[in-house]
Amino acid sequence: MSFGTRQVAPRLAAFAARYPLVSVELGLGDRYVDLVEEGWDLAIRIGTLRDSALIARRLAPCRTALCAAPSYLAAHGTPRTVADLANHNCLGYTLVRDVGATKWRFGKKSDIMVPVSGNLRADNGGALVAAAVAGQGLIYQPTFLLADDLAAGRLVSLTLDQPNHEIGGIYAVYPPQRLLPAKVRAMIDYLVECFGDEPPWDGGLLGELGQNT
């Protein structure tokens, strides 16, 4: 839902101007949707894709950042290692495991699982960002959620002794069909054009994120 709201919806006006005969129905939600059963042309999915009969095209990487508000760091100190996270209030996302509510994944091979705990868990990344900006704790979320607050200084990116985990990727998926409808191809090509390997939300942040290489 957060990706659709923050990154897709603002770009639909330009798509409509380019393709004035195409109308778009945008469904926003975090539940797993059966495209064929529910009649959707395509979906955007984030992470490591499960095996399925769907066709997938990668739109962008999904990098992560570990962040906190300056007010939180002033009050509680700045973690320097993954072991330091045990001493911090870590805001947990309940819909995934790799950067979830009880464990966060780090390392060059994304093979270091670090236990975390905190006084807030949520099933929406935007809610966790709002709490982090207010100074409640550390947040470990995709950069497409965090970029605006990092750029504005409301959040500070933290670099630990292990690189951050990259959450698979961001994909457009659609049912296999003999001839892909022109409207679907146009939307997918447009999203690839908008995002790509260096998506706009990462901007100048890549040198600060402790990413895998």
User: pLDDT digit string (tens) for 122-134?
Assistant: 999 999 999 999 9
Euclidean distance between CA atoms 166 and 90, whole angstroms: 18
Rounded Cα distance between 64 and 66, Å, is 7
**2-62+167-208 under CATH 3.40.190.10, yes or no:** yes
Helix axes 125-133 and 143-152, enclosed angle (nearest 10):
20
Give the per-residue pLDDT at 51.
66
Provide mean pLDDT across the span 17-35. Answer: 91
Taking only Cα atoms into account, the Rg of the chain, rounded to an integer number of angstroms, comes to 18
Q: Which helix (H) or strand (E) holds 71?
A: helix 70-76
Say whether 64-158 and 2-62+167-208 share the same fold. Answer: yes
- % of the chain beyond a pLDDT of 70: 95
For the chain, what are the domain ranges?
2-62+167-208, 64-158
How far lies 6's CA from each of 11, 38, 108, 145, 177, in Å?
9, 24, 29, 8, 30
69-92 pLDDT tens trace: 999 999 999 999 999 999 999 999
**Helix ranges restricted to H, 85-200:** 125-133, 143-152, 182-194
Domain 64-158 sits in CATH 3.40.190.10: yes
Whether residue 63 contacts residue 202, with contact meaning beta carbons closer than 8 Å, is answered with yes
Question: What share of the chain in percent tops pLDDT 90?
Answer: 73
Structure tokens given for 69: 């508000």
Instruction: Write the pLDDT tens digit of every residue in 157-208.
Output: 999 999 999 888 999 999 988 888 999 999 999 999 999 889 999 976 655 5
Strand partners, 65: 141
Q: How confident is the model at residue 96 (pLDDT cuts 50, 70, 90)?
A: confident
